Structure 1
Amino acid sequence: MKIVTQEEIDGHTNATIRGAAEGAFLSAAVAIPGSLLLNRRWASYRALPLSLKVMGTVIMIAPCISIQAERRGLEFDRAHWTGAGKWELDREAAEEEARWGALTTKDKVGDWASRHQYSIILGSWVLSMAVAGSIISRDRHQTLPQKIVQVRMWAQGLTIGVLIGAGILTHNQRQAALQRRPVDHSWQSLLAEQAREKEEARRAHSNAPNPL
């Protein structure tokens, strides 16, 4: 078992903070100008309370901060893996790359969608809100509260459809995975690599010159 040093802990913390800062700056660079542009060109958006505008901006920025911070932390961890652990991770990455290369285009789309379900659901909700809002805002016979209710209903309906599709996709993916589920022998490979490292260390120690 590897003992984590204080330097590694500080490095991981700095990497996480750097990722959070990157997520904040990049998302703010999109969310804030987007909000200002909507406020300038869309009368319905200008009529919204300031609290709702701020909430919409925060909803876009906060997940980006968390996601990018986690990504940087994981990158730091992977970069500092050594020995049998690193060898096993490299082996699994090579197997995953080979598996991905053997998939058809349809299977790749399904595999990607199953691994990014939450992003697809959130993106579909945002897209449906934007599309429904742009269409309903042209109706001059409805008041602003009525338009907001209509946009929310359309977005909810489309999101429910996406959720149903995601559920069906997940079920199919799990059934297919159970049918071709391989036996995990990674623990054997890890033990073999650890034994090899110990043997190399023993040989290096035995071949070291005797100071006496």
Structure 2
Amino acid sequence: MKLITQEEADAHQAAVVRGGVRGLLTGACVAIPTFTTAYYKTTYYRTLPLPLKAFGVVIVLVPSMIISAEKAGTDFEKAQWRGSGQDELNAIELRERRKWESMNREEQIKSWAKDHQYSLVGGAWAVAMVGSFGFVWRRPGLTTVQKLINARIIAQTLTIGLMLGAMALTYVDPEHTPPKEPDHSWADMLERDATDKERAEREQAREKLLKAHEKFREGQKASAKVVA
């Protein structure tokens, strides 16, 4: 296991911060025009309380910042791989791409949903919160506290349903779920290293043989001159 240096840790941290700032700016470029347009074009949006408007901005900016920062950190880590590690990453990526191409449309949708189930639940939760607040806020005869409680209950109910759906995607029909392929990455890397070592040894032996052959020919030429 390779121990990272302080410089590498600082570089990783800088990459994560840059990714977070980039995601924050991207979210702001989406949120500011959207909510500004809603403010000037929609009377209903202007009547919403300030905390709810701020919440709408936050649920756009924060996920965008976190996702972008995490992706920047992952990309930085992948860029540091060299030699056998990089070869193994390329091999894994190739296997995943071939597996994806061999699936039909339904299998691709299920596979994508399984891989991104937490993102789907989180995004659906944010949409459910905003939708429930907007739905409840239009109901007359309720106080602000009652509206907040009702909106929270509706959002929690929808979130629980989404989580159950995500669990169903993971655990439903286990008999038809193909077994997970064992991870032979370390074995593959060791085998590749051994192959590279053998290839290098063969090259060295070949070079030594060529040098010996050249010396032999030079010796033959020298002997022929002496005889002549």
Q: So what's the TM-score if we normalise by structure 1?
A: 0.77
Which residue does the alignment assign to 1:185? Answer: 184
Judge which range, 192-201 or 55-64, deviates more: 55-64
Q: What letter corresponds to residue 188 of structure 1 in structure 2?
A: A
Structure 1, unaligned runs of 5 or more: none
Whether the aligned pair in 2 keeps the contact of 1:39 and 1:46 (CA below 8 Å) is no
Which residue does the alignment assign to 1:25? Answer: 25
Q: What letter corresponds to residue 67 of structure 2 in structure 1?
A: I
Structure 1 stretches of 4+ with a deviation exceeding 6 A read none
CA distance in 1, matches of 2:105, 2:80: 34
Local SS of the residue matching 1:142: coil
Which residue does the alignment assign to 2:224? Answer: none
Question: Cα gap change, 1:9/1:198 in structure 2, threshold over 3 Å: closer, same or farther?
Answer: farther
Structure 2, unaligned runs of 5 or more: 212-228
Question: Cα gap change, 1:151/1:37 in structure 2, threshold over 3 Å: closer, same or farther?
Answer: farther
Local SS of the residue matching 1:111: helix
Please say which structure displays the higher CA radius of gyration: 2
Whether the aligned pair in 2 keeps the contact of 1:16 and 1:70 (CA below 8 Å) is yes
1:198 equivalent in alignment to 2:197? yes
User: Alignment length, in residue pairs?
Assistant: 207
1:48 equivalent in alignment to 2:53? no
Which residue does the alignment assign to 1:163? Answer: 163
Structure with the larger RCO, 1 or 2 (CA within 8 Å, 6+ apart): 1
Question: Cα gap change, 1:134/1:49 in structure 2, threshold over 3 Å: closer, same or farther?
Answer: closer
Provide the aligned C-alpha RMSD in A: 3.2
Q: So what's the TM-score if we normalise by structure 2?
A: 0.72
> Identity of aligned pairs, percent?
34
CA distance in 2, matches of 1:6, 1:131: 46
CA distance in 2, matches of 1:173, 1:27: 38
Q: What letter corresponds to residue 145 of structure 2 in structure 1?
A: P
1:103 equivalent in alignment to 2:103? yes
Local SS of the residue matching 2:135: helix
Superposed, 1:7-18 pairs within 5 Å as 8-18=8-18
Measured after TM superposition, the shift of residue 140 of structure 1 is 3.1
CA distance in 1, matches of 2:196, 2:4: 20
